[in-house]
Amino acid sequence: MGQGLWRVARNQQLQQEGYSEQGYLTREQNRRMAASNISNTNHRKQVQGGIDIYHLLKARKSKEQEGFINLEMLPPELSFTILSYLNATDLCLASCVWQDLANDELLWQGLCKSTWGHCSIYNKNPPLGFSFRKLYMQLDEGSLTFNANPDEGVNYFMSKGILDDSPKEIAKFIFCTRTLNWKKLRIYLDERRDVLDDLVTLHNFRNQFLPNALREFFRHIHAPEERGEYLETLITKFSHRFCACNPDLMRELGLSPDAVYVLCYSLILLSIDLTSPHVKNKMSKREFIRNTRRAAQNISEDFVGHLYDNIYLIGHVAA
């Protein structure tokens, strides 16, 4: 009874002093908001330097003029960073508004080299009147021409001085370009074996597991849809290149280019067997080891077993 009266009296005293729960929370919120405003103000003062970027980004003249910020009002570094995320089409549209900024050579140079990683003209002194925007248009037109007719496309690049008439330069261009139609490229490489030889030597398979190296190889040089002389040529060239990149591993495993050739063919057949929906009775690991070691007797059982596991877990080597 006495404790209850004491609590009532104490609550009345707190209310008179303004320490009710609701009042306390209200004052605490006000205190935190004030501290936050002070912190934001200090932060804006620290960011300010020459141009108050905070106020520049927040300011609007009127509701009718609200929209994108004028990039010409921003520092050049910030404007170029924003424009560097645009593709060629959007950058051309941006040049209608910000002509000087969107036509900057550095932006178009980045677009050219991100799409076509190697061109002979990159390593030459630019001719009079050269611009990377014009070069981008020529590269795009040449790529479209190549995808229609590879020989005409390569001739176009040479006529514009973009590529030198050299198998090595053509191979580098193909290796660093992802806009070429792979079916047309396969036909072109089948006809230009000199370019194919240089293209194979551009691959570095050092310290790569054989199935992974084969996947990387077929990502750049697509395998034909059917078996034939061209597929045999590709596997032969890959086998010699893989051995050249891993001489210590070849000595340790006792493998030769011929043995790697056999393994590559086995991996392709296993990939088809495990991934094809038409094959109901899939090849087991034991069957793959037995068949592979029958063709290449010097290969260890553990190594062949790891090859099977890689195909089973990751998938086709020539997909």
Q: Which CATH superfamily is domain 202-318 in?
A: Arf Nucleotide-binding Site Opener,domain 2 (1.10.1000.11)
Reported pTM: 0.73
> Residues of the chain with pLDDT > 70: what percent?
78
Alpha carbon distance 131, 71 (integer Å): 23
**Does the structure show a pLDDT above 90 at 24?**
no
Question: Which of the pair, 33 or 21, is modelled with greater confidence?
Answer: 33
**CB-CB contact of 265 with 296 (8 Å):** no
Helix (H, G, I), strand (E, B) or coil at 130: coil
- Region of 207 (left: φ > 0; alpha: ψ -120 to 50; beta: rest) is left
Question: Measuring CA to CA, which residue among 267, 275, 273, 266 is closest to residue 295?
Answer: 266
Q: What's the CA dihedral at 205, 209, 215, 219 to 10 degrees?
A: -30
Q: Tell me the pLDDT tens digit for each residue of 127-184.
A: 888 999 999 999 999 999 999 999 999 999 999 999 999 999 999 999 999 899 999 9
Check residue 70 and give its pLDDT: 78
- Pair of tokens at residue 59: 């300011």
Instruction: With cut-offs at 50, 70 and 90, classify the pLDDT of residue 267.
Output: very high
pLDDT average, residue stretch 268-278: 91
Q: Is 280 helix (H, G, I), strand (E, B) or coil?
A: coil
pLDDT at 16: 53
pLDDT of residue 34: 52
Residue type, 151: D
Instruction: List Cβ neighbours of 234 (8 Å cut-off, separation of 6 or more).
Output: 217, 221, 223
pLDDT-above-90 percentage for the chain: 54
Q: Name the one residue in this structure whose structure tokens are 């630019």.
A: 126
CB–CB of 202/171 below 8 Å? Answer: yes
pLDDT mean over 2-17: 49
**The two structure tokens encoding residue 98:** 């910000």
Q: Where do runs of H (alpha helix) occur along the chain?
A: 2-17, 21-47, 53-58, 76-83, 88-95, 99-102, 105-115, 132-148, 150-159, 167-175, 182-191, 193-201, 210-220, 229-245, 247-253, 257-275, 285-295, 301-314
| CB contact burial 252-284 (16+ within 10 A = b; e otherwise) | ebebebebbbbbbbbbbebbeebeeeeeeeebe
The domain spans of the chain are 76-190, 202-318
**Which residue would you say has higher pLDDT here, 228 or 155?**
155
Q: Which of 63-67, 117-121, 175-179, 297-301 has the lowest mean pLDDT?
A: 63-67
Handedness of CA 258, 263, 268, 272 (dihedral sign): positive
Helix (H, G, I), strand (E, B) or coil at 51: strand
More confident call, 4 vs 290:
290
